[in-house]
Amino acid sequence: MLSSLSASIFLSVLLARHARASVNYALAPSDCPANSQVEGYFFYSPQGAVAMQGGGLIMNPNGTMVYYATGFGQCSMRGLQEYEGADHLAIWVGDGSPVTGRHGSGYIYIYKNLLVDNTYSVVENVTVTNLGTGADVHELQITPNKTAVMTAYPTQGEAVFTWKALDHVDPSECYAAIGDAGTGTVDDPWDYFHINSIQKNDDGNYLISSRHCHTLYSVNPDGDIIWRMGGMNCNFTFGPGANYTWQHHARIHNWTTLSLPFSQGLLLNYDDSAMTVSLINARSPFNRTATTAQGSVQLLDNGDSIVGWGAMPSYSQHDNDGNILWSAQFGLVPDSAYRVFLHEWTARPTTPPSIQVSNTSSSNITVYAWWNGATEVTAWQLLGSTTDEPLVASPLVVADKLDFETALTFTGDRGYAYFQVAAMNADGEVLGFSDFTSLNGTTFAKADNQTITAAPL
Ligand SMILES: *[C@@H]1O[C@H](CO)[C@@H](O)[C@H](O)[C@H]1NC(C)=O
Ligand SMILES: *[C@@H]1O[C@H](CO)[C@@H](O)[C@H](O)[C@H]1NC(C)=O
Ligand SMILES: *[C@@H]1O[C@H](CO)[C@@H](O)[C@H](O)[C@H]1NC(C)=O
Ligand SMILES: *[C@@H]1O[C@H](CO)[C@@H](O)[C@H](O)[C@H]1NC(C)=O
Ligand SMILES: *[C@@H]1O[C@H](CO)[C@@H](O)[C@H](O)[C@H]1NC(C)=O
Ligand SMILES: *[C@@H]1O[C@H](CO)[C@@H](O)[C@H](O)[C@H]1NC(C)=O
Ligand SMILES: *[C@@H]1O[C@H](CO)[C@@H](O)[C@H](O)[C@H]1NC(C)=O
Ligand SMILES: *[C@@H]1O[C@H](CO)[C@@H](O)[C@H](O)[C@H]1NC(C)=O
Ligand SMILES: *[C@@H]1O[C@H](CO)[C@@H](O)[C@H](O)[C@H]1NC(C)=O
Ligand SMILES: *[C@@H]1O[C@H](CO)[C@@H](O)[C@H](O)[C@H]1NC(C)=O
Ligand SMILES: *[C@@H]1O[C@H](CO)[C@@H](O)[C@H](O)[C@H]1NC(C)=O
C-alpha cells in the first residue's frame, strides 16, 4: 500500500428518484453522438452544486441514467476492472464527511473500495488494514495477481507493500508551497507530494504520479525510485510538447507509451534506456477550456480515447490523432468528475424492479417503473389484479423504456386494485417482476408462480 496526504472534497448527495442527469453535447450537432455514435456507458461521479445527480453513476451516452450507486453513502466510480475473469464495477466509498475537504489527521473515516458484480452484489471489500484509516479516493487498481493497489494516508503497520513518499522524496523537489497545499498544521497538513495515481505493472514496478512534484516515479518492489519523469530532478529529456505539470491518472499502456491528463490529455512515447520522452499527440478540450485539476485519459481499443476533464464538468472523445470528435458537458463550473470511463456493461440487479403508483383512481392510474442498474430493459409491461387472494396478473399496457423511469398509464374502469410491472428485453422476454402495489401504495409480495423467461446472465 502506498501513502500520502491527499485532498478531495465530497459533497453530500441526495437521490431524487425523478431527477435526470442532463448532458449537453458540443461539436457535430447535426449528428449528435448521444443517439448514434457512442456505444457503451459512461461511468463517473459528478460532484458539485449544479450537477443534477451526484454520486456514482452509469449513464447512457444520451444523458439518461442507468444506475445510481445508492446505499453506499459518498462514493466515486472507478469504472470497470477485471477480477476473476469478469468485469466488475469498482466503487470507492467514504463514510462520514471530510470536514474540510482534506483528509486531515485526527479524522478517521471508513474508506473502502468495493468490487460489484453484474447483479450489483458486492463481491469484494478492498481496503487497507492496520493503517489507522482506509483507502483514499485517488487510486484503485486490481492487478492480475488478485492484489489491489490503493492510496492511503497515514500508513503505519502491516501491509503487503507500503511506500511513503517522505521516505524517498524530499519536499524540496516539489512545487506546492506550505499554504498553497495545506497550512502545515496537524488538522491541515502540508500536502507536499499529492499522490494521485499508481499503476502496478507486470514487471512488478509501480508508476506513481505526484501532482505537486510534477513527477512520475517508477518505483521497484523494494520502494526504490528507478527514475523520475518530469519535475526538478528529472531523468528524462523531453521533446517538444511532451512536458507536463500537475498531472493525473498516469498509465503505461505498453513499454513505450503512456498517457496522462493535465490541462491536455497527452499520449507520450518514452524510452527508459535512452531516457527520452516525446509527444505522440495531445488531446485538447473543446473550446480550450483548460482544467486545473483531476482528469483521466482512457485509450479505447480502436485507438480513440475518452478524456475526463476533471475539474471542468465535461468529457470528450478523440480520434487516434487526438482530434476532438465531440464534447459532453454534464454540469456548470465548478462541478467536476474525478475520472470518466466508457465501458460496455451488461447487468441485471438481484433486487426486483421498482414501482410507484401515482394516481389513486382505479379507472385512471399512472404507474412509474424503474430498475436501478438494469441494462437490458427495452420495454415495461403493466399488469393488474382485481383481487389480492389470489393475485391474478393480467397484462394491461406496454410502454417503451426511454429513460431511467418509465410512466405507464392505464385508463378503464375494470376494478384493478393491485399493480405490478414486468421488465422486458428486446426479445420480449421478461427479465424481472416488481412487487404488486395497491392503489394506496402498499406493497405485496409478487405472485410466486410468475416466471422470468429471459435466460440468466
Ligand atoms: C465490507 O466491509 C464492511 C466493513 O468494513 C462490512 O460491514 C461489510 O459487510 C463488508 N461487505 C462485504 C460484502 O464483505
Ligand atoms: C504478479 O506476480 C508475479 C510473480 O510473483 C510477478 O512477477 C509480477 O510482477 C506480478 N504482477 C503484478 C502486476 O503485480
Ligand atoms: C536519475 O537521476 C539521479 C540523479 O538525479 C541518478 O542518481 C539516477 O541514477 C538516475 N536514474 C536513471 C535511471 O538514470
Ligand atoms: C514545457 O516546456 C516549455 C519549454 O521549456 C515551456 O515553455 C512550457 O511552459 C512547458 N510546459 C509545461 C506544461 O510545463
Ligand atoms: C503502444 O501503444 C500505442 C498506443 O495504443 C500504439 O500506438 C503503439 O503502436 C503501441 N506500441 C507497441 C510496441 O505495441
Ligand atoms: C467558448 O468560450 C468562450 C469563452 O472562453 C465563450 O464565450 C463561448 O461561448 C464558448 N463557445 C462555446 C460554443 O461554448
Ligand atoms: C387521466 O388523468 C390524467 C391526469 O393525471 C388526465 O390528463 C387524463 O385526461 C385522464 N384520462 C382519463 C381517461 O380520464
Ligand atoms: C387521477 O385520475 C383522475 C381521472 O381518473 C383525474 O381526474 C385526476 O386528475 C388524476 N390525479 C392525478 C394526481 O393525476
Ligand atoms: C398464478 O396462479 C393462479 C392460480 O394458482 C392463477 O390464477 C394465475 O393466473 C397465475 N398467475 C400467473 C401470472 O401465472
Ligand atoms: C437513450 O439511450 C438509450 C440507450 O441507447 C436508449 O435505450 C434510450 O431510449 C435513449 N433515450 C432517449 C430519451 O433518447
Ligand atoms: C392499502 O390497501 C390495502 C389493500 O387494499 C389494504 O389492505 C391496506 O390496509 C391499505 N392501507 C392503508 C394504509 O390504507
Least confident window among 71-75, 205-209, 329-333, 385-389 = 71-75
What tens digit of pLDDT does each residue of 262-282 get? 888 999 999 999 999 999 999
**Of the candidates 153, 148, 154, 241, the residue with the CA atom closest to the CA atom of residue 198:** 148
User: What b/e readout covers 113-136, taking b as 16+ CB neighbours within 10 angstroms?
Assistant: bbbbbbebebebebbbeebebbbb
User: What b/e readout covers 424-448, taking b as 16+ CB neighbours within 10 angstroms?
Assistant: bbeeeeebbbbbbbbeeeeeeebbe
Least confident window among 15-19, 86-90, 120-124, 148-152 = 15-19
CA of 255 to the centre of ligand 4 (A): 25
Model confidence band, residue 287 (pLDDT cutoffs 50, 70, 90): confident
Question: Which pLDDT belongs to residue 33?
Answer: 58
Arithmetic mean of pLDDT over the chain: 83
Determine the average pLDDT of the residues in 58-62. 87
**Of the candidates 285, 276, 284, 145, the residue with the CA atom closest to the CA atom of residue 203:** 145
Question: Which pLDDT belongs to residue 9?
Answer: 19
pTM of the model: 0.85
The ligand that comes nearest to the alpha carbon of residue 289 is 6
Query: Which residues surround ligand 5 with Cβ inside 6 Å?
Result: 253-254, 256-257, 299
Helix (H, G, I), strand (E, B) or coil at 167: helix
Residue nearest to atom 13 of ligand 7 (CA): 411
Least confident window among 40-49, 381-390, 403-412 = 40-49
Amino acid at 386: T
- Answer whether residue 37 shows pLDDT above 90: no
- Answer whether residue 154 shows pLDDT above 80: no
- Answer whether residue 10 shows pLDDT above 50: no
Query: Which residues surround ligand 1 with Cβ inside 6 Å?
Result: 110, 112, 122, 125
Determine the average pLDDT of the residues in 20-39. 64
Mutate to test the pocket of ligand 11, among 362, 386, 418, 442 (most ligand atoms within 8 A of CB): 442
Mutate to test the pocket of ligand 3, among 170, 172, 215, 227 (most ligand atoms within 8 A of CB): 227
- Answer whether residue 73 shows pLDDT above 80: no
- Answer whether residue 296 shows pLDDT above 60: yes
CA of 197 to the centre of ligand 4 (A): 22
The ligand that comes nearest to the alpha carbon of residue 449 is 9
The ligand that comes nearest to the alpha carbon of residue 121 is 1
Question: Which pLDDT belongs to residue 19?
Answer: 42
Question: Which pLDDT belongs to residue 328?
Answer: 87
Cα distance between residue 39 and residue 42, in whole Å: 9
Q: Is the CB of 227 under 6 A from ligand 3?
A: yes
- Answer whether residue 169 shows pLDDT above 80: yes
Which domains are delineated in the chain?
A: 4-230+294-343 (no CATH), 354-444 (2.60.40.10)
Alpha-carbon distance values, 29 to 36, 59, 62, 157, 350 (Å): 12, 20, 13, 55, 38
Model confidence band, residue 50 (pLDDT cutoffs 50, 70, 90): low
Determine the average pLDDT of the residues in 401-413. 92
Question: Which pLDDT belongs to residue 277?
Answer: 97
Residue nearest to atom 12 of ligand 8 (CA): 359
CA of 229 to the centre of ligand 2 (A): 23
Question: Which pLDDT belongs to residue 95?
Answer: 54
Mutate to test the pocket of ligand 11, among 435, 438, 439, 443 (most ligand atoms within 8 A of CB): 438
Model confidence band, residue 227 (pLDDT cutoffs 50, 70, 90): very high
Question: Which pLDDT belongs to residue 135?
Answer: 74
Q: Is the CB of 64 under 6 A from ligand 10?
A: yes
Determine the average pLDDT of the residues in 404-410. 94
What tens digit of pLDDT does each residue of 315-374 get? 999 999 999 988 888 888 888 888 999 999 999 999 999 999 987 777 889 999 999 999
% of the chain beyond a pLDDT of 70: 85
Instruction: Note whether 244 and 236 are within 8 A (CB).
Output: no
Helix (H, G, I), strand (E, B) or coil at 197: strand
Model confidence band, residue 2 (pLDDT cutoffs 50, 70, 90): very low
Cα distance between residue 101 and residue 91, in whole Å: 19
Model confidence band, residue 240 (pLDDT cutoffs 50, 70, 90): very high
Cell of 63: 444523458
- Answer whether residue 404 shows pLDDT above 90: yes
Query: Which residues surround ligand 6 with Cβ inside 6 Å?
Result: 26, 287
- Answer whether residue 235 shows pLDDT above 90: yes
Question: Which pLDDT belongs to residue 191?
Answer: 81
Determine the average pLDDT of the residues in 414-426. 94
